[in-house]
Structure 1
Amino acid sequence: MGSVGTPVIRRIVQVGRGPERPEDLLASVGLRADAPASSWAGESVDAEAYYGLIERVAGADDHALPFRYAEALRADDFGALGLALKTAQTLGVTLQRLMRYILVLSDTLEYALVEEPGGQRLELNGRPHHRRGAAMANECALAAVVSMLRQAAGVHVRPQAVSFRHPPPPTATPHQAFFGCDVAFDAAHDAIHLPAAVIAQQPRLADAGLSAYLLAQLDDLRARAADRSLVAQVRGAVADALPDGQPSKTQVARRLGMSERTLHRRLADEGASFQTIATQARREAAEALLATTEHPLADVAFLTGFADQSAFTRAFKRWTGQTPTAYRAAGVRAADR
């Protein structure tokens, strides 16, 4: 699984309006309310725990949570990255920097800038939308980008359109109010569509000299963030892709920016194999979904990359010695004690 920086978690809890106490929400993901906030490049929380937290904070009816989160963010929260975004020569360069250095903030985020008629779209790639919390996390991510662009430009930047892959919520009024444009759901991409005039706009604090200094710092931070075990990177890439089917070694290698042959060799150097890691990622995802959601078994099978429920049941029993139904029931009994 991927991970998310704890300051993101704290900000989500800060803007929540539900009945649960902030300290209880933080404790549910292993954080203390009185601990000093860690840096954006520091401590992190498992992505599934993050999605679950969003679901608890938002409850059933708070569809505006992602946009209060985005409005509460300040570019300075991102340290050197935030200042590098504000000092770029154009907002297009701001987006390029975000794409390059996003690993400093979270290893669940991956952006691509794609040319399209009249402008460009910034796509959020590799993030699942298999549960409500994951879908809302994607809304948080794109809303945060728009918030950063507005702060960099010093004006109310308005996208041409915004699209999400997940189904529409009961109301899209908060989405349209924040973005100020049409918002599509069940779309091909999680993306912000930006006109050429916005891409070419100059940030208020554009400064080539300061940018060069900041980029050197960010290159160091990025190298340290990327230095984690390749096994962990592969496990995270597989887990994030499972809702769209089990990814092949070629697909994972491409996402990690290397050839399949290089991936095979580097895993062998760590004493690991792609198949073993992929199987472990599927098992962990299945156990998490059975323990923390009420999805029907057919949905759990689909979300862990299986073609049907019977194949999932056979595999799960081989992994754990229990059927998925028995595993879920045992977890419920343990929680009731």
Structure 2
Amino acid sequence: MSVRPLPQSIDETLQLLNGAGYVADRSLATVLFLSLKMGRPLFLEGEAGVGKTEIAKVLSQTLDRRLIRLQCYEGLDVASAVYEWNYTAQMIEIRLAEAAGDSDRRMLAEDVFSERFLIKRPVLQALEPDLNGPPIFLIDELDRADEAFEAFLLEVLSDNQVTIPEIGTIRAPEPPVVVVTTNRTREIHDALKRRCLYHWVDYPDAERELRIVNERVPGVRERLAREVVGFVQRLRREDLFKKPGVAETLDWASALTELDMVALDPEAISDTLGVLLKYQDDIGRIEGSRSKQLLDEARAELAAAE
């Protein structure tokens, strides 16, 4: 089985992303190309919902590589992220050895702490060879994990290896393609960032967001798509607890399309704000006269641009 080659230029990287429906700008394509070319992890930072995780999924799809996702959370430990031993199987093996009269404890210890009793979690899976080429290893929302786990990742990102006390050091024959994302709920230590190429994934401008909506929402009406994007662009300027990301824009456009809307109106906005905004305080601040005002401003801006 042949391994699908990596893109050989920035333009090829841009085509690879766009071909999979990910509307990217050239700066993102550049840092992604360099990450693939140099074999360095890609560190993506930005607000939730701007498309950071999707980049790893697109790479997996377009390069035909296995996607291994490590979803980070508070309290994430080595047993959940790297490996643990199959204690039940080990105990059965010990009981069988005792029943058979096998008294060589050293040999028994080596046997029960061998790889066949090892349960591999995402980090170990990412270091394994694959016929399709090194996998795409997504370390998602690293800022949710504790600093102690972040420090542990340094060995993985620096040397593409992990150390298991009972077995030794396991090193990847070829480094995985690593994508690290963070929503910046806390700062990530410089030691980890230095091992990566960095890119801030921002909210798209209106032109690019319109392209994304047209690409990802089949059947959306042209006027509706333009008004949805114009409204969301205005909405992001408001003082909100959580501004809507691209994911929310797509959800809203899809919901309005399902309702057979051809254009926005104040009633439709009021009825569907819960698709776009996720906090009641934000909804209360926008619904009613303020949403109509934002719609009028968006329409005026669209008319001026025509």
TM-score (norm 1): 0.25
Larger Rg: 2
Larger relative CO (CA 8 A, sep 6+): 1 or 2?
A: 2
